[in-house]
Amino acid sequence: MAAGVGELLRRLPQVGAGLGLGAVRLPEPAASGDFTDFLRVGACSGQSPTVHAPSPNDPELDHWIATFRGPLVGLIASWGATWARAEELAMDTFAEAWLGRDRFVGDRSAPNAVGPWLRGIAFHLLAADRRAQRKAPARLDAEPVAPTPAEPGEQHERLRAAFAQLRVEHQEILRMHYLESTPAGPLAALLGISRKAVEGRLYQARIALRERVARLVPTGGGR
Amino acid sequence: MKPQGEAPDLLQQDRDLQQLFAGRRPDAGRFAVGVTARIRARTAAVAEGGTSAAHEPQTRVARAAASALPDGAAWLGAKSLLTWLSWPALLLAGSLLGGLGAARELRRDLRGAAVAMGQPSVRSRVGLFLATLPLPLLLVVGIWYRVPLADLLVGLVLMAMVAFVVQVRLLARHGGTRRDHVAGFAVSLLETLFQISMCWTFFGGLAGQEPWEGAGVVWTLLLGVVALLPFVAAPRRWLGLGYVALLIALLPPSTTLRRDSLAAVAADVAAARPAAGELIDWHALASAVEALRAQGTAVDVGAGLRDDLRGWLADGVDLHPQVLSAAVRIGCLDRSAWQDLVGLRKAAAKLSSWDRQGQLYSPDYGFWELPALLATRPGDAAQRAHWLQRVDTLWPNRLDPAAAGMPLVDAWLALRWRELLDAPEPTAELVAAAHRLLLKHQVAKGQRGAGGFTDFPNEQYGDNAAAAFRALDLLARCGAPPGLDLEALHTTLRRNVQQQGAIGRAARGDGLLHRANLVRFEQLFGATSLTPARWLLEARVMLAMLAVVLLCGYAVWLAPPERQGPGALP
């Protein structure tokens, strides 16, 4: 089994390159829990990820992923999933969408049509995932965990603490935007609101975050 | 306006935020590989005969359910009709599923209580109580004595509720149940009963109840649901409120409609245009017209019906005698139509048989023969006396209780034909025979349709509309004999009207005939007095449902509220 995993890891970059995805950067096992998450992908799909998965080689799918990957992961994380689970569910979402693309009656090249569709699939997959896990599920609108900074430091700890104090919709828009610096268009499509509303919400979220960070900054002198 | 110096702050903040999320940023390549692997795995699973997530059974169920939803512009189409018809079934299924879920919770409580107390006997005591209830015995007796299904079901529900309250009381005494669980079960039960009673009232009538009583049952249950909802756990409470709102929106206003008013019957008569082959519709239409005319209401059928008849006769269509008899009773055959009719070979042969001697045999749909004879060949006094003599041959059979055939039909024909021949009033002997017939043909208590009339008193077929119509005609001419149960007759006639429901059948066929019968009865006898005992009997379903609601409330009150937290710290 362990040999199989090693083989998998060795071959992954070639797989990604073969798929025209560019060099696939392997996650550092020691540095992140994402590596084990990645292994679960194979378990979840019922097949080893070592398979030379034939790419759908579909520019449409590539376009969807490039457009919605970051905000979709952020959105699912905002619904209460862990970051690792959110990423897996986003993969599931794109796979389901691509397999069921013939059922989609809208314009598949229009982000405004595809966004709500992906959001719907993701929501149902998350609900199904929770049912399958049979845990006491967190409410969908429960406040999710704040992101963990890549380089922990005092400023980042403060920012993280301030982020956790934000309103749910402010957290949501920040996750969706800053995860991959996604522009307002895909965010608007996923949330079903206008670009102006997204920009306004982002602006308000930044202001609120700055205020909360300011409150957390020691005033100096102490008591 | 943004304050000065904000932009650099925000830029700094942007960088900080991007850095904050950097650790969670999905790797593009790994992400694409993950998607591809999933697509391949699911494609392979489908190829091996499995199902992809998109085609899993639950997805198919969800799609089937979604297909039942209204689809925008096509809401007037057949699919939409099926959709709306499927709503009650979907709602009922929802109620039943909710009830099953709530029952599971209660069962869990029961197990928990038994384990916590170390007394598995709690369950056995409840089971013993249920087993000792005479439910099986009552069920057998009810079926044996042909208790109406609705009464049987309502009785069983009532007794089950008593058992439920006893069970909750036992559990509550040991702290083994929770109020929100009991309330959840009670609300689901009431919702299910509400759905059943609404469908029953809407499509068929509820255990012989008046329309207001059917509506009373529905509203009693609905109010019970609303009253108990606040005790259900919070998330399900809001779900339940939405569900109740949907139920109220779908509550058919027809539960409070009366379709047996004179105006309603007259409107349906005026609009009726049965085809040549719809025999029951013709008979019902003629009976409704006669009932309305007896009431003093001027009524006429549409011109289209006359045109149809004239055309059929002119074309030599072989009309069934039922249609001809109905047309005669309605009065929509003119002289030219009669000439066309007697020109038909079979009709001419039938009419010429009246000149013979001996016993007359004719079913009720042979009513047209004498009017046709009189219209085309009035005859002299001797001929009319001969025809009257032949008509009276129908009566001797009625004096013989063991006579075969359909005595009620013969007596009705004889009375009606005698009037056409301007015969004198029926003799006391004929009236007495008619009274004996009426008493013999009224359906006895304990049988289906008790109080109504049947053509076959020796069989337990229950009442039927055509026999009731003929009996009412006899009652109008000979009066009601002592011993005839008019209250039971009235109740059955009302029930028959209500059982037609508010849509479809009520406007034609037996539905129209039942309504005509009720109109005729009320014209003859007016409203019979409603004694308290009779009221209790007729409102029994509503009272039973009220008792069920109260027992549900009592069970919820018995169950202890959910335990609170440890309390505030000092």
Q: Number of C-alpha atoms within 13 angstroms, CB side, residue B413?
A: 26
Among A63, A38, A54, A190, which Cα is nearest to B47's?
Answer: A54
Mean pLDDT over B376-398 rounds to 77
- Considering only residues B509 and B305, tell me which one the structure prediction assigns the higher pLDDT: B305
**Length of chain A counted residue by residue:** 223
Mean pLDDT of chain A: 70
Q: Does B51 score more than 70 pLDDT?
A: no
Kindly determine whether residue B33 and residue A54, on different chains, have CB atoms separated by under 8 Å: no
B25: enclosing H helix or E strand = none
pLDDT at A68 (0 to 100)? 94
* Segment of A189-203, B360-374, B555-569 carrying the highest mean pLDDT: A189-203
pLDDT at B494 (0 to 100)? 78
Contacts of A181 in chain B (CB under 8 A): 18
Mean pLDDT over A59-84 rounds to 90
pLDDT confidence of B68, banded at 50, 70, 90? very low
A17: in domain: no
Among B107, B119, B233, B105, which Cα is nearest to B174's?
Answer: B119
Kindly determine whether residue B20 and residue A41, on different chains, have CB atoms separated by under 8 Å: no
Cα–Cα distance measured from residue B526 to residue B545, given in angstroms and rounded to the nearest whole number: 31
A199: in domain: yes
Kindly determine whether residue B19 and residue A156, on different chains, have CB atoms separated by under 8 Å: yes
pLDDT at A200 (0 to 100)? 92
Which range has the worst mean pLDDT, A61-70, B409-418, B464-473, B533-542?
B533-542
Range of the domain at A197: 5-12+25-216
pLDDT at A175 (0 to 100)? 92
A18: in domain: no
- Considering only residues B65 and A30, tell me which one the structure prediction assigns the higher pLDDT: B65
Cα–Cα distance measured from residue A217 to residue A211, given in angstroms and rounded to the nearest whole number: 10
Kindly determine whether residue A51 and residue B37, on different chains, have CB atoms separated by under 8 Å: yes
A143 touches chain B (CB under 8 A): no
Q: Is B34 helix (H, G, I), strand (E, B) or coil?
A: helix
Contacts of B25 in chain A (CB under 8 A): 70, 179-180
Q: Does A27 score more than 70 pLDDT?
A: no
What CA–CA distances, in Å, run from B210 to A105, B24, B171, B496?
51, 68, 40, 10
Q: Does B129 score more than 50 pLDDT?
A: yes
Q: Give me the residues of B, 4-63, that contact A with CB < 8 A.
A: 9-10, 13-14, 16-45, 52-54
Q: Give me the residues of A, 105-134, that contact B with CB < 8 A.
A: none
Mean pLDDT over B358-382 rounds to 78
Contacts of A95 in chain B (CB under 8 A): 35, 38-39, 42
Share of chain B above pLDDT 90, in %: 2
In A, minimum Cα distance to B23 occurs at A150
A197: in domain: yes
Measure CB to CB from residue B35 to each of A51, A65, A174 and give the nearest one.
A65
A56: in domain: yes
Kindly determine whether residue B23 and residue A147, on different chains, have CB atoms separated by under 8 Å: yes
pLDDT at B373 (0 to 100)? 81
pLDDT confidence of B138, banded at 50, 70, 90? low
Instruction: Flag whether the ipTM exceeds 0.90.
Output: no
The total domain count for chain A is 1
Measure CB to CB from residue B40 to each of A53, A174, A210 and give the nearest one.
A53
pLDDT at B87 (0 to 100)? 57
A92 touches chain B (CB under 8 A): yes
Among B286, B217, B292, which Cα is nearest to B261's?
Answer: B292
Measure CB to CB from residue B32 to each of A49, A65, A87 and give the nearest one.
A65
In B, minimum Cα distance to A153 occurs at B20
- Considering only residues B363 and B204, tell me which one the structure prediction assigns the higher pLDDT: B363
pLDDT confidence of B304, banded at 50, 70, 90? confident
A221: in domain: no
Min Cα distance B289 → chain A (Å) is 56
Pick among A21, A76, A154, A177 to test the B interface (most B CBs inside 10 A): A21
Contacts of A103 in chain B (CB under 8 A): 54
**Residues sharing a CB contact under 8 Å with residue B443, sequence separation 6 or more, in sequence order:** B449, B450, B451, B452, B453, B454, B462, B463, B492
A98: in domain: yes
Q: Does B231 score more than 50 pLDDT?
A: yes
Pick among A12, A64, A99 to test the B interface (most B CBs inside 10 A): A99
The per-residue pLDDT for range A102-121, each reduced to its tens digit, is 877 778 888 888 888 898 88
Mean pLDDT of chain B: 72
Cβ-Cβ pairs closer than 8 A, A with B, add up to: 151
A140: in domain: yes
Pick among B35, B46, B59, B238 to test the A interface (most A CBs inside 10 A): B35
Tokens of B180: 């929100």
pLDDT at B422 (0 to 100)? 81
